[in-house]
Amino acid sequence: EESLQMWDLNKRLEAYLARVKFLEEENEVLRAEIQSAKSSPAGDSWRVRYEEELRALRDALDGAFREKCTAELARDNLYEEVEQVRSKCQKEQAAREEAKKQLNLSKKELEEERRAQIWLKERAVQLEKEVEALLEVHEEEKAGLDQEISSFSQSLETFRGAPVAFQPVEVEDYSKRLSEIWKGAVETYKTEVSQLEGSLCQAKENLWKAVEDNQQSQLQLQHLEKDLAGLKVRKEMLEENLARQWQEQRGEAEKFQLAMEALEQEKQRLRGQIAQVLEDRQQLMHLKMSLSLEVATYRTLLEAESTRLQMPAG
């Protein structure tokens, strides 16, 4: 029975020794790997690579922040340009409204000049009719005076002793006075006609000026409309560029966010691996210590058993 127990113990001891030997070899390999990882730069390749990747990602993040700042500055500049374009559009709109007002005023002045011209024409026709009527009355009065003078001369030949009040000299004075009055009326008519002609010429000049101002206002209005259309196109282009830059910046930010999340996951994974390696190493150390204690116990038991077996022989 004791020999069977010893044989069983020997088998168990042999298995434990083989296992201890295997674990010691594996421990030596792990110790060598750990020492090489600690001492050699090649062993720190994963750490160096991780630090390099982290440094590169930090540089990329700094570059992204710089690009973001640049994009924000460009966005602010574009916003200022849009505000300038908007203020310019408002100024152009105000100038356009002012041009429309001037055009309406020019049209009103043109209508007033036309009415004044029509009134002046009617007034000239009326004055011509009045002059013709005055000429007819003057001719009638002249004919009547000629008849009176002829009858008066006949009466003078009949009555030689005519009074002084009816002498032909007074008749001639009266005729001269009438002719002077007629000349004054004619001069007055000529003066009025010349004034009317001057007013008519002035009205024509004002009309031409109003027409020219109207044409200039229309040309200016067309030019302002063209400038407004160009500013609208430029505003649309600037808004499209701003939206495109916003989209690009948002896409880059999402990419960097995904990269940071991936790096964070990689970091957590590496930490888990390191913790697992440390835990395995700790378990191996505990296993080694337990195996060492078990081997020492078996050695003690073997020594005691060998001593006990050798004592009867002695």
Task: Give the per-residue pLDDT at 160.
Answer: 46
- 22 domain-assigned: no
- 163 domain-assigned: no
CB–CB of 245/75 below 8 Å?
Answer: yes
- 83 domain-assigned: yes
Chain CA centroid to CA 144, Å? 91
Q: Helix and strand tally (H, E) in the chain?
A: 3, 0
CB–CB of 230/154 below 8 Å?
Answer: no
- 3 domain-assigned: no
User: What single-letter DSSP state applies at residue 160?
Assistant: T
- 174 domain-assigned: no
Q: Both tokens of residue 81? A: 């340009």
Task: Give the per-residue pLDDT at 162.
Answer: 43
- 165 domain-assigned: no
Domain count, the chain: 1
- The letter for the amino acid at 313 is A
Instruction: Classify residue 24 as exposed, middle or buried by CB count within 10 Å of its CB (0-12, 13-18, 19+).
Output: middle
CB–CB of 89/228 below 8 Å?
Answer: yes
- 62 domain-assigned: yes
- The letter for the amino acid at 264 is E
Its domain, for residue 109, covers 40-155+180-308
Residue of 148, 188, 140 lying closest to 172 (CA atoms):
148
**Cβ neighbours around 282 below 10 Å, total:** 10
Residue of 223, 238, 234 lying closest to 92 (CA atoms):
223
Task: Give the per-residue pLDDT at 171.
Answer: 58
Per-residue confidence of the chain (314 residues) as pLDDT tens digits?
A: 777 878 888 888 888 888 888 888 888 888 887 777 667 655 456 667 767 877 888 888 888 888 888 888 888 888 888 888 888 888 888 888 888 888 888 788 888 878 877 888 787 788 778 778 877 877 787 777 777 767 766 665 564 444 444 444 455 676 677 677 777 777 777 787 778 777 778 777 877 887 787 788 788 888 888 888 888 888 888 888 888 888 888 888 888 888 888 888 888 888 888 888 888 888 888 887 888 888 888 888 888 877 877 765 44
